[in-house]
């Protein structure tokens, strides 16, 4: 538990990386820098010059595509802020336009979608559906990014572990309340009458608290109780216990990968790699990568990441020099450097040089995605150079190698171009670098420095041995404890044994002390009183009826108390196992999601933008579940096998 709590706290402390500063010292503010263009955009917008403003927006859009920037977050956020201003001023159409522009520059920015949701709500009731859709998009938008997945993962893992612990605790306590008396009965019989009864109670208590006495910690109590109760519970409950044990085994690998993710996120190089892969220009990332490149000249990945960051920052000459140096000094067959170098030729409109380089890349070869990329890029260079047949041929070859790659490129990197009075999509060439999976593999579990070098060239491998390693922990070892304890208990109780609680009066009885009435699930007295209805003396009869009444009252109280404490536990107690487990799982699941959302919001949009709809939804769901679980009281009424003497419908098999 301590470990889980600590990790949860670590997760909280490690908030999503701060948004990159607007002022980046490392970025040269040339005429083609995003800062300069944005300032010009604002100036034209203030002056009311729409044509001039759109010209700068087009240039920003073009450079974003040319530099392969997935998320131009700074300008996206600035546009959202402008949209909010317009919304406040009452200009809904303008606001909507600005939110859409923000999304076009950063499709993974939740703020833009939240803005659209706000604008939709201004339309009145007709806008509610659209607002809901946009809010959903806002939550989804980040999930395809490394950053978004990290935020989701690091908030969900601790929350789910806590939910699992709460679920297991409620289940174990309920089963102990329901069936603990049966174990006590068996112990009492084993120790005999008189002093033996006291001994039995003592042993029972010691057994229950064994994990604490052996200093294993509170967290083991629920699993231990489930183990002790296993032989006494019904089939559905046994299945549930197995499910819980399987979940416990998964805890090890889960914690390990959570640890690794948290550690990687402290790494400035990981941050730089994430920005190079999916973000925009960033001065600190460039500085960190330069330093790391000097310290690790043998790790080519760092050079690729640095080259990509140079290009994003508009430092094409430095990117060119870097790739050129790799090709001349380190490895003349490095296709990643060669492809990205050719892309700079392309940006400089030196198409024939670019085409030559792409051809060299294709001769060297590489993975399918690489080969498709060289051909795709070459086809675009041919088109620009007005060599349409060659362009078409290269493109169809690229499609033949890997159509999914070319389709993805086509959707991501393009600008609109005026051609013969029609607007057409004009594709832009694609840089090669590290995939998100490779970024993870490179920095997984590394709070600083590099975990694995040169993953971009090798490709990432699976971690089967790591999974096996992480399975070897105390949760897995508990499976052994479970098997041994269950085996010893079943041996001690003997073969064909059963211990039941009388369905009417609640008295425990077993194979040794029962007198032939067990198939009906009733104790001997109740059997004679309610089924056979033969000569039971008056006082004994009244005594038994009182006991039955007391038992009914007790069951009702326990159900109500358990349901109040934890909806679903009451149903588990009443042996409505499936329904009870469902209630419990939903209850703690929603609570965990709420907790996760509180600890580490999936989106870091401001409260001005993000309305607490999910919170309201979760609150309503929790309330509904609470009411249902408390109202839907299962009946304990026993179906009496009157005059038939056969087994009762609700009687459990031994």
Q: Alpha-carbon distance 292 to 303, whole Å?
A: 9
Per-residue binder mask for Zn ion (CB under 5 A), 526-565, x = binder: x---------------------------------------
Q: Is 295 or 513 the residue whose CB approaches Zn ion more closely?
A: 513
How far is the C-alpha of 245 from the C-alpha of 227, rounded, in Å? 10
| 3-state SS, one letter per residue, for 412-439 | HCEEEEEECCEEEEEECCCCCCCCHHHH
- Whichever of 532 and 591 has its CB closer to Zn ion, that residue is 532
d(CA 459, CA 220): 41
Q: Total residues at the site for Zn ion (CB under 5 A)? A: 10
Tokens matching residue 587: 């209850």
In the complex with Zn ion, the residue whose CB is nearer, 484 or 513, is: 513
Q: Which is nearer to Zn ion, 2 or 495 (CB)?
A: 495
For the CB of residue 207, give the shortest distance to Zn ion in the complex, in Å.
18
List the beta strands (DSSP E) in 73-231. none
Closest separation between CB of residue 536 and Zn ion, Å?
12
- Least separation in angstroms between CB 551 and Zn ion: 8
Q: How far is the CB of 548 from Zn ion (least distance, A)?
A: 7
Span interacting with Zn ion, options 440-448, 460-468, 505-513, 535-543, rule CB under 5 A: 505-513
Nearer to Zn ion, 354 or 502 (CB): 502
Min separation Cβ 491 and Zn ion, Å: 18
Give min distance, CB of 547 to Zn ion, in A.
7
Using the minimum distance from each CB to Zn ion, give the nearer residue, 207 or 236: 207
Mutual orientation of helices 613-631 and 128-141 as an angle, nearest 10°?
A: 100
Is residue 505 at the binding interface for Zn ion, with CB under 5 A as the rule? yes
Using the minimum distance from each CB to Zn ion, give the nearer residue, 299 or 551: 551
Pair of tokens at residue 450:
């590099």
Near Zn ion by CB under 5 A: residue from 1, 483, 513, 642: 513
Question: Which range of residues in 134-142, 183-191, 353-361, 529-537 is near Zn ion by CB under 5 A?
Answer: 183-191
- Spatial distance between the Cα atoms of 70 and 61, rounded to a whole number of angstroms: 11
Among the residue ranges 215-223, 460-468, 516-524, 645-653, the one whose residues contact Zn ion (CB under 5 A): 516-524
Q: Restricting to residues 57-116, which ones interact with Zn ion according to CB under 5 A?
A: none
* Closest-CA residue to 107 (of 137, 130, 67): 137
Output phi, psi for 648, to 5 deg. Answer: -70, 155
Judged by beta carbon, residue 343 or residue 525, the one nearer Zn ion is 525
Binding segment toward Zn ion, per CB under 5 A, in 52-60, 236-244, 506-514, 572-580: 506-514
What tokens were used for 582?
Answer: 């469902």
> Contact, 609 vs 111, CB < 8 A?
yes
Token pair listed for 158: 């601790």
Stretch that binds Zn ion, among 171-179, 299-307, 385-393, 508-516 (CB under 5 A): 508-516
Bridge partner residues of 419 (DSSP): 422
Q: HEC states along 118-156?
A: HHHHCCCHHHHHHHHHHHHHHHHHHHHCHHHHHHHHHHH
Nearer to Zn ion, 78 or 531 (CB): 531
From 287, 255, 293, select the one nearest 271 (Cα to Cα): 287
* Token digits of residue 351: 């198409």
**What span, in angstroms and rounded, lies between the C-alpha atoms of 192 and 455?**
70
Stretch binding Zn ion (CB under 5 A), from 100-108, 189-197, 305-313, 458-466:
189-197
526 vs 593 by CB, closer to Zn ion: 526
Stretch that binds Zn ion, among 224-232, 315-323, 392-400, 517-525 (CB under 5 A): 517-525
Output the smallest distance, CB 497 to Zn ion, in A.
10
- 138-177 footprint of Zn ion as x/- string (CB under 5 A): ----------------------------------------
Can you tell me the distance from the alpha carbon of 89 to that of 95, in angstroms, rounded to the nearest whole number? 9
- Applying CB under 5 A, the span of 17-25, 116-124, 221-229, 496-504 interacting with Zn ion comes to 496-504
- Using CA atoms, how far apart are residues 543 and 546, in angstroms rounded to an integer? 5
Shortest CB 597 distance to Zn ion, Å:
50
- What span, in angstroms and rounded, lies between the C-alpha atoms of 293 and 449? 11
Residue 456's nearest CA partner among 355, 350, 287, 336 is 336
For residue 512, give the DSSP letter: T
Burial state string for 84-103 with b = 16 or more CB within 10 A and e = fewer than 16: bebbeeeebebbbbbbebbb
Contact status: 184 vs Zn ion (CB under 5 A): no
As measured in angstroms, the least distance from the Cβ of 596 to Zn ion is 48
Are the CB atoms for 362 and 371 separated by under 8 Å? yes
Q: Tell whether residue 504 is a contact of Zn ion (CB under 5 A).
A: yes
Q: Tally Cβ neighbours within 10 Å of residue 5.
A: 12
Query: Is residue 502 involved in binding Zn ion (CB under 5 A)?
Result: yes
Binding positions for Zn ion, rule: CB under 5 A: 189, 502, 504-505, 507, 510, 512-513, 523, 526
């Amino acid at each position: 538990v301590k470990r889980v709590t600590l990790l949860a706290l670590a997760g909280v402390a490690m908030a999503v990386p701060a948004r990159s500063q607007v002022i980046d010292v490392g970025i040269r503010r040339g005429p083609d820098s995003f800062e300069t263009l944005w300032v010009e955009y604002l100036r034209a917008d203030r002056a009311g010059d729409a044509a001039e403003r759109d010209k700068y927006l087009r240039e920003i859009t073009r450079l974003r595509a040319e530099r392969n920037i997935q998320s131009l977050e700074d300008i996206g956020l600035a546009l959202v802020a402008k949209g909010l201003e317009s919304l406040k001023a009452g200009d809904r159409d303008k606001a909507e336009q600005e939110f859409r522009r923000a999304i076009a520059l950063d499709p993974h920015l939740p703020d833009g979608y939240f803005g659209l949701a706000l604008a939709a709500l201004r339309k009145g009731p007709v806008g509610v559906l659209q607002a809901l859709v946009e809010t959903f998009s806002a939550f989804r938008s980040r999930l395809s990014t490394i950053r978004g997945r990290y935020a989701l993962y690091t908030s969900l893992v601790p929350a789910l572990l806590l939910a699992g612990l709460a679920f297991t605790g409620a289940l174990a306590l309920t089963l102990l309340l329901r069936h603990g008396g049966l174990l006590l009965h068996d112990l009492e019989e084993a120790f005999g009458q008189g002093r033996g009864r006291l001994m039995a109670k003592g042993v029972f208590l010691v057994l229950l608290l064994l994990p604490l006495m052996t200093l294993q910690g509170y967290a083991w109590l629920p699993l231990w109780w489930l183990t002790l109760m296993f032989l006494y519970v019904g089939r559905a409950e046994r299945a549930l216990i197995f499910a819980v044990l399987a979940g416990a085994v998964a805890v090890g690998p889960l914690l390990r990968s959570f640890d690794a993710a948290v550690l990687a996120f402290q790494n400035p190089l990981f941050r730089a790699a994430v920005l190079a892969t999916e973000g925009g220009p960033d001065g600190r990332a460039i500085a960190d990568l330069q330093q790391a490149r000097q310290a690790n000249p043998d790790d080519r990945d760092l050079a690729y990441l640095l080259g990509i960051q140079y290009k994003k920052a508009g430092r094409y000459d430095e990117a060119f020099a870097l790739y050129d140096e790799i090709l001349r000094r380190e490895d003349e067959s490095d296709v990643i450097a060669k492809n990205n170098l050719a892309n700079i030729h392309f940006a400089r409109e030196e198409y024939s040089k670019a085409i030559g380089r792409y051809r060299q890349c294709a001769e060297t070869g590489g993975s399918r995605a690489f080969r498709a990329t060289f051909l795709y890029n070459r086809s675009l260079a041919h088109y620009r150079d007005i060599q349409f047949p060659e362009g078409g041929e290269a493109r169809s070859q690229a499609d033949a190698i890997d159509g999914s790659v070319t389709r993805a490129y086509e959707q991501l990197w393009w600008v609109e171009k005026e051609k013969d009075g029609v607007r057409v999509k004009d594709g832009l060439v694609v840089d090669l670098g590290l995939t998100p999976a490779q970024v993870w593999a490179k920095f997984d579990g590394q709070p600083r420095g590099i975990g694995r070098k040169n993953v971009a060239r090798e490709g990432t491998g699976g971690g089967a041995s790591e999974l096996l390693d992480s399975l070897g922990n105390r949760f897995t070892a508990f499976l052994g404890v479970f098997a041994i304890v269950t085996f010893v208990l079943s041996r001690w109780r003997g073969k064909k044994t059963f211990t039941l609680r009388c369905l009417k009066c609640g008295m425990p009885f077993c194979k040794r002390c029962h007198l032939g009435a067990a198939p009906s699930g009733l104790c001997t007295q109740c059997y004679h009183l309610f089924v056979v209805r033969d000569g039971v003396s008056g006082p004994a009869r009244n005594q038994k009826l009182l006991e039955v009444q007391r038992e009914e009252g007790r069951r009702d109280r326990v159900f109500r108390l358990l349901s109040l404490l934890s909806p679903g536990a009451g149903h588990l107690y009443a042996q409505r196992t499936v329904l009870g487990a469902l209630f419990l799982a939903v209850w703690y699941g929603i609570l965990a999601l709420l907790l996760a959302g509180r600890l580490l919001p999936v989106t870091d949009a401001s409260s001005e933008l993000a309305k607490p709809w999910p919170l309201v939804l979760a609150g309503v769901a929790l309330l509904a579940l609470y009411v249902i679980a408390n109202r839907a009281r299962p009946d304990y009424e026993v179906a009496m096998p009157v005059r038939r003497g056969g087994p009762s419908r609700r009687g459990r098999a031994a």
